[in-house]
Structure 1
Amino acid sequence: MTDSLTPLSRRILLGAAAASAVTVAGATAAHAAPPAGGASPPRSAQPLLARDRIATARLAGGPARFQADFHERLDAWLAFWSANSPRNWSTPVEVDGTVSAHGDAFTLHAIRISRDDETRDAFAAGRADAAHLATLASLHHHFPSVRVGTGGALRVTDGSAGWTGSAEQVAFAVAACRELWGLRAAEASDWREHVRRAGHAADPASRSGWAAFTRASLRRGLRTESY
């Protein structure tokens, strides 16, 4: 968007991407491991569903094939992102991203809205602004694994949301503290104390606290709520 939100330092994307690189090898290995006892088929054997939209937004490039429950999570995520976006933004009209071969991971490149009779990028992977961190927050709110990739693209994998303490979650939390909340002294070792001092009552490393912190960070980044 030509009137994009506050620009941020490129180190945010680089730092989050570096943290993601630490966890990706382990995550890949876990995904490849066979189910214990062979009691249920692997996720890759489940039938995939062709979908041309996520929530209200059409998929750039046409239909893609998803695991059914993963697509439902993506629907819920985008509706959540939209509900917490500025009132003068339309609901998302297009999402640009790619789906993994197994249909259980999605890499987000852009979210487009309609404003003033024009289609604009409300989120763009390569744009280091507050909307990037806000969108990252919204994905951490809904998914257990969110990775910043090349060029700032955001990759999520299926699963129940919640605090795991992963390097990628901590990297996001520190970046959000520093760049969205103005807590410049926050580090990986003490960011939780900074969050509490900023007025967040719940422990951000609990399930409910993480949900509250990520939602508040989404709204902070999109300038839809003041604290």
Structure 2
Amino acid sequence: MNDSRSSLSRRRILLGAAAASAVTVAGATVTPGTTARAAPSTVPPAGGASPARSLVARDRIATARLAGGAARFQADFHERLDAWLAFWSANSPPGWSAPVRVDGRADAGGDAFTLHAIRVTRDDETRDAFTAGRPDAAHLATLASLHHHFPSVRVAAGGALRVTDGPAGWSGSAEQVAFAVTACRELWGLRTADETDWRERVNRAGHATDPASRSGWAAFTRASLRRGLRTETY
């Protein structure tokens, strides 16, 4: 496959991802001669609490169809998931298609998602580019991509990756530090990096910006994604 043609094709697909993912697929009532409209569902408040935010039903994230059908999300969280998967795809090998299926589960509150697999088309075959039970470089790369977009990311049972809604950025959480140390050791070749010196080691390895800053964390997680998917070397 021609790499430049593949990359251009994928960019065109990704430009349409937001529109594709905005189709509401559940709760629709159709009257002959009219267009189907879906009213957002609302989680009932408990114990007199203020009303919960409305949820929207979506059957895909960016270009990828959700395995198992539509799930309910908070609208802003789903937009972050769209942006995350488009980012993951834009930094993946040019021989891969945009993601065609995502296997995961949204929490009842619509503000958390547990990822199990990402499928792409390569050489006319649909393959798992990431899968929870396979602890390889692509697994760590996908973890990096989620840390790039979300404030809380953790490895759940069986290697699944769970994210919660919120603006991304460095917080110094135990989850972020654990990821950074593992990325240093497994992706950057800094085998003796630990919780106390990983930042200095990354800087000495040629990373220009302090990874424990907002811009540095974004750069470090992007670079780690690309290293894990073998789309960039240093």
Task: Judge same fold: TM > 0.5, yes or no.
Answer: yes
Cα distance in 2, alignment partners of residues 126 and 188 from structure 1:
26
Residue segments in structure 2 that go unaligned for 5+ positions in a row: 1-47
Bigger Rg, which one: 2
Matched, 1:138 2:145: yes
Deviation per CA, 1:115-170: give whole Å up to 9, x if none. 12211000000101000000000000000000101010000000000001000100
1:166 paired residue among 155, 169, 173? 173
Cα distance in 2, alignment partners of residues 122 and 52 from structure 1:
20
Cα distance in 2, alignment partners of residues 116 and 79 from structure 1:
21
**2:4 matched to which residue of 1?**
none
**2:37 matched to which residue of 1?**
none
Which structure carries more relative contact order (alpha carbon 8 Å, separation 6+)?
1
**2:210 matched to which residue of 1?**
203
**2:115 matched to which residue of 1?**
108
Matched, 1:64 2:71: yes
Tell me the secondary structure at the aligned position of residue 213 of structure 1. helix
Count of residues in Structure 1 that have an aligned counterpart in Structure 2: 187
Residue segments in structure 1 that go unaligned for 5+ positions in a row: 1-37
Q: TM-score, normalised by structure 1?
A: 0.81
Matched, 1:175 2:182: yes
Cα distance in 2, alignment partners of residues 141 and 74 from structure 1:
11
TM superposition shift of 1:177? 0.2
Paired AA for residue 201 in structure 1: A
Q: TM-score, normalised by structure 2?
A: 0.78
1:213 paired residue among 203, 211, 220? 220
Cα distance in 2, alignment partners of residues 212 and 198 from structure 1:
14
The CA RMSD measured in Å over matched residues stands at 1.2
Cα distance in 1, alignment partners of residues 50 and 66 from structure 2:
29
Alignment of 1:1-227 (within 5 A): 41=50, 45-227=52-234
Paired AA for residue 209 in structure 1: G
Paired AA for residue 70 in structure 1: F
Paired AA for residue 120 in structure 1: R
Cα distance in 2, alignment partners of residues 142 and 111 from structure 1:
17
Cα distance in 1, alignment partners of residues 125 and 144 from structure 2:
26
Percent identity between matched residues is: 83
Paired AA for residue 197 in structure 1: R
Cα distance in 1, alignment partners of residues 226 and 133 from structure 2:
20
Cα distance in 2, alignment partners of residues 161 and 47 from structure 1:
22
Deviation per CA, 1:186-217: give whole Å up to 9, x if none. 00111001100110011000000000000000
Deviation per CA, 1:12-61: give whole Å up to 9, x if none. xxxxxxxxxxxxxxxxxxxxxxxxxx9x946xx11100000000000000
As a proportion of its length, which structure holds more helix? 1
